[in-house]
Structure 1
Amino acid sequence: MPEVASPPYLYINYEGRRRTLLSRWQRSVMPFELHRGYAQLLDTAADYQCSCWLVDITRRLSPLGAADVSWLMEEYFPQLQPRLGNTVYLAYLMSPHQLAGVLATPYTPQQAEEANLPYYFRRFTDEDSARQWLRSCARKARAAQMR
């Protein structure tokens, strides 16, 4: 599958065999780049009707500020299900140091699958575990569609 045209600060690729949207942030970004990058992720996911995303932020050295987290939670994530028509699963890949910082930040959202949201996300420090979780989510989603 060819690489998707994307800005220099964000690598995006749709992995057809895995039915996964892969994104790798290449560096820390300004808020406008964050918004543009996530908009392109959603556009690409819509092009492929892809609801399983692997989002690698290991190269994004600066943590997101409270305003960016608020934008993601209040404006961006609520757009996913209406646009894609399915629950969206986001596996965030980060370094152990990043994960510790994220968990120590008071404005960091929790990973609650019981919240009954139209999207779920989990944080991982190992890509194989992230991909395994996405495969499990894809199986659950296919089983739910068959009912």
Structure 2
Amino acid sequence: MPVFSTPYLEIYHDAQLQILTAKWLRGVMPFELHRGYHALLDQAVVYDCRFWLLDIRRRACIDSSDVLWTLNEFLPLVQPRLKRTTYLAFLMAPHHLAGDLADGKVPDSTYYDERPYRNERFTDTEAALAWLQHCQQLETVAR
């Protein structure tokens, strides 16, 4: 059962895995994207959850302006509210990933090295979950 739901987004919390999943249900207008990400952050605070699976496969198109808003406007809000590194696994359709990688406006994963969040892109759910669980293990060892 979702912990948050709109016609365009459902958010689930898996207490056992300590993963928050945001599942986009359709393409969205910019204001819906913004509201959805803010709702995700609010739920992350409620559950003190820094490991996110963002399923964006149903979004018809992913515009680089949406990516830039996420990078420049949204992600800077995350660390002040969650206080530690947040891990975002984006689950994408193969054609979205190819377009994302080809778009010169979208930074590669090294962009995140010096930031209080980590971002990886996947086309396979199991690989995304494995990466999030690996990040959890690394955090446990680091403590």
Using structure 1 for the length normalisation, give the TM-score.
Answer: 0.92
Could you tell me which amino acid in structure 2 is paired with residue 141 of structure 1?
E
**Greater alpha carbon shift after TM alignment, 105-114 vs 127-136:** 105-114
Could you tell me which amino acid in structure 2 is paired with residue 38 of structure 1?
Y
Number of positions where the alignment pairs a residue of Structure 1 with one of Structure 2: 143
Could you tell me which amino acid in structure 2 is paired with residue 4 of structure 1?
V
Could you tell me which amino acid in structure 1 is paired with residue 54 of structure 2?
V
For 1:115 and 1:5, the matched residues in 2 are separated by 30
Could you tell me which amino acid in structure 1 is paired with residue 16 of structure 2?
R
Q: Are 1:125 and 2:135 counterparts?
A: no
Runs of 4+ in 1 over 2 A off after TM superposition: none
For 2:84 and 2:139, the matched residues in 1 are separated by 8
Q: What secondary structure does 2:62 align onto?
A: coil
Q: Cα distance 1:61–1:114, how it changes in 2: closer, same or farther (>3 A)?
A: closer
Could you tell me which amino acid in structure 1 is paired with residue 124 of structure 2?
D
For 1:51 and 1:32, the matched residues in 2 are separated by 24
Gaps of 5+ in 1: none
User: Residues 21 and 54 of structure 2 are in contact (CA less than 8 Å); yes or no, is this contact kept in structure 1?
Assistant: yes
The Cα of 1:11 is off from its aligned counterpart by 1.0
Taking only aligned residues, the RMSD between alpha carbons, in angstroms, comes to 1.3
Q: Cα distance 1:34–1:130, how it changes in 2: closer, same or farther (>3 A)?
A: same
For 1:32 and 1:114, the matched residues in 2 are separated by 25
Could you tell me which amino acid in structure 2 is paired with residue 47 of structure 1?
V
Using structure 2 for the length normalisation, give the TM-score.
Answer: 0.94
For 2:50 and 2:93, the matched residues in 1 are separated by 24
Gaps of 5+ in 2: none
Identical-pair percentage: 45
User: Residues 6 and 40 of structure 1 are in contact (CA less than 8 Å); yes or no, is this contact kept in structure 2?
Assistant: no
User: Residues 113 and 120 of structure 1 are in contact (CA less than 8 Å); yes or no, is this contact kept in structure 2?
Assistant: no
Could you tell me which amino acid in structure 1 is paired with residue 93 of structure 2?
S
For 1:55 and 1:109, the matched residues in 2 are separated by 18
Q: Are 1:102 and 2:97 counterparts?
A: no
Deviations 1:61-104 (A, max 9, x none): 111232x2222111111111110011000000011111111111
Query: What does residue 23 of structure 1 align with?
Result: 22
Query: What does residue 58 of structure 1 align with?
Result: 57
The Cα of 1:122 is off from its aligned counterpart by 0.3
User: Residues 109 and 119 of structure 2 are in contact (CA less than 8 Å); yes or no, is this contact kept in structure 1?
Assistant: yes
